[in-house]
């Protein structure tokens, strides 16, 4: 199969496209009363027996295998909090996303919806989902993802006035972006980490983990647990890093790691502390012999990027820099 994108004259030869689920465990329910639902308007009530066996903690994995990848390790895209794998596919204003770009650059790509997100689903009777889910508002996302200052309304002029200098986010498509924000829970880390580890164990070869925000934490922790299955890590503004044990045992000593940071961190109440905490881990890892590089976009003369560089107007410039690093470190 040959797929040719409008943006390029270079065709991409695809061996296969597909998906599967990984991880999870079975839970048996008993002694729950029968439940009755009407599943369609004016429908006949149906009785549902909630007792029996269900699967909890599974994770959805999509793959596109590039026929030209040859000896390159596949790339696994790991999304951040409140999001799904959709964040890698296309930008909210309709331009190609990183999944498409790295595919055209010669890599096979995998894309996940982590536990509780998107096509992975969640288990309403389990303790991990007993607390109310968090759903980010437009206003909270605009500030915490460092697109700009707090706004009360979402009209184009308000967003433009509130945006940080040199803003690279396509502001006219901000409401469209917010349609991909989904609920998340605060107690599902163990389920998600287990699914990440199981995914890595089942893959035939070591992979590159390109991970964003919360996904960066899971990628680094999973790599510490199965380091032989991770060829490299690209951590896009990770919310947390690895463990003290990982440093002491030098678990990622042979794993090249690139951290990527955008602009305006000092303007946010949380991000200076988050980066200081994760930088401490990476500095300790480097001091222990690890191979850690940093791509600080403002230091490279690239300004205006928020917490979402994969969606912004210069997203392919940044993916090109990451591709150059991967080629240099792995090929």
In Å, how far from its chain's centre is CA 211?
5
Residue 60: CB atoms within 10 A of its CB come to 22
Query: Which pair of structure tokens corresponds to residue 301?
Result: 């003369």
Taking a C-beta distance cutoff of 8 angstroms, is the pair 50, 29 a contact? yes
Q: What is the pTM of this model?
A: 0.95
B/e letters for 81-113, b = 16+ CB within 10 Å, e = fewer, are bbbbbbbbbbbbbebbbbbbbbbbbbbbbbbbb
> What mean pLDDT comes out for the span 47-60?
96
Residue 35: CB atoms within 10 A of its CB come to 10
> What mean pLDDT comes out for the span 193-220?
98
Is it the case that residue 1 has pLDDT exceeding 80?
A: no
> What mean pLDDT comes out for the span 185-212?
97
User: Is the domain defined by 15-25+59-330 classed in CATH 3.40.50.620?
Assistant: no
| Rounded Cα–Cα distance for residues 73 and 105 (Å) | 13
Is it the case that residue 197 has pLDDT exceeding 50?
A: yes
Every domain of the chain and the residues it spans: 15-25+59-330
> What mean pLDDT comes out for the span 104-120?
98
Query: Which pair of structure tokens corresponds to residue 254?
Result: 């042979």
Is it the case that residue 91 has pLDDT exceeding 60?
A: yes
Is it the case that residue 2 has pLDDT exceeding 70?
A: no
For residue 142, the model assigns a pLDDT of: 98
**pLDDT category of residue 119 using cuts at 50, 70 and 90:** very high
Q: pLDDT by residue (tens digit) across 249-287?
A: 999 999 999 999 999 999 999 999 999 999 999 999 999
For residue 70, the model assigns a pLDDT of: 83
Is it the case that residue 10 has pLDDT exceeding 60?
A: yes
Is it the case that residue 7 has pLDDT exceeding 80?
A: no
Give how far Cα 16 sits from Cα of 5, 22, 110, 256, 302, Å: 17, 19, 12, 28, 36
Helices (H), 14-97: none
Region of 126 on the Ramachandran plot (φ > 0 left; ψ -120 to 50 alpha; else beta):
beta
Query: Which pair of structure tokens corresponds to residue 126?
Result: 């389990």
For residue 11, the model assigns a pLDDT of: 82
Is it the case that residue 165 has pLDDT exceeding 60?
A: yes
B/e letters for 25-34, b = 16+ CB within 10 Å, e = fewer, are eeeeeeeeee
In Å, how far from its chain's centre is CA 19?
17
């Amino acid at each position: 199969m040959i797929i040719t994108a409008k943006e390029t004259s270079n065709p991409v030869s695809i061996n296969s496209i597909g998906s599967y689920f990984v991880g999870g465990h079975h839970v048996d329910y008993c002694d729950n009363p029968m439940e009755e639902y009407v599943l369609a308007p004016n429908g006949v009530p149906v009785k549902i027996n909630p007792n029996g066996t269900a699967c909890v903690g599974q994770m959805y994995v999509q793959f596109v295998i590039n026929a030209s990848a040859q000896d390159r390790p596949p790339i696994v895209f790991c999304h951040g909090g409140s999001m799904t794998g959709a964040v890698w596919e296309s930008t909210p204003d309709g331009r190609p996303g990183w999944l498409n770009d790295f595919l055209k650059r010669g890599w096979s790509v995998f894309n996940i919806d982590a536990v509780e997100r998107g096509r992975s689903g969640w288990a309403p009777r389990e303790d991990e989902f007993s607390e109310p889910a968090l759903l980010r508002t437009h206003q909270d996302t605009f500030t915490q993802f460092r697109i700009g200052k707090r706004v009360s309304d979402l009209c184009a002029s308000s967003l433009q006035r509130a945006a940080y200098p040199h803003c690279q986010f396509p502001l006219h498509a901000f409401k469209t972006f917010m349609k991909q924000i989904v609920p998340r829970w605060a107690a599902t880390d163990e389920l998600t980490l287990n699914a990440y580890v199981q995914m890595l164990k089942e893959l035939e070869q070591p992979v590159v983990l390109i991970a964003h925000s919360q996904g960066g934490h899971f990628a680094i922790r999973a790599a510490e647990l199965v380091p032989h299955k991770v060829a490299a890590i690209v951590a896009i503004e990770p919310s947390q890093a690895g463990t003290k044990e990982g440093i002491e045992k030098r678990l990622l000593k042979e794993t090249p790691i690139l951290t990527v940071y955008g602009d305006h961190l000092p303007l946010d109440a949380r991000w200076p502390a988050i980066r200081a905490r994760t930088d401490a881990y990476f500095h300790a890892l480097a001091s222990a012999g690890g191979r850690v590089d940093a791509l600080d976009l403002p230091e490279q003369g690239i300004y205006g990027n928020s917490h979402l560089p994969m969606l912004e107007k210069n997203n392919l410039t940044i993916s090109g820099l990451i591709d150059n690093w991967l080629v240099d470190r792995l090929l």
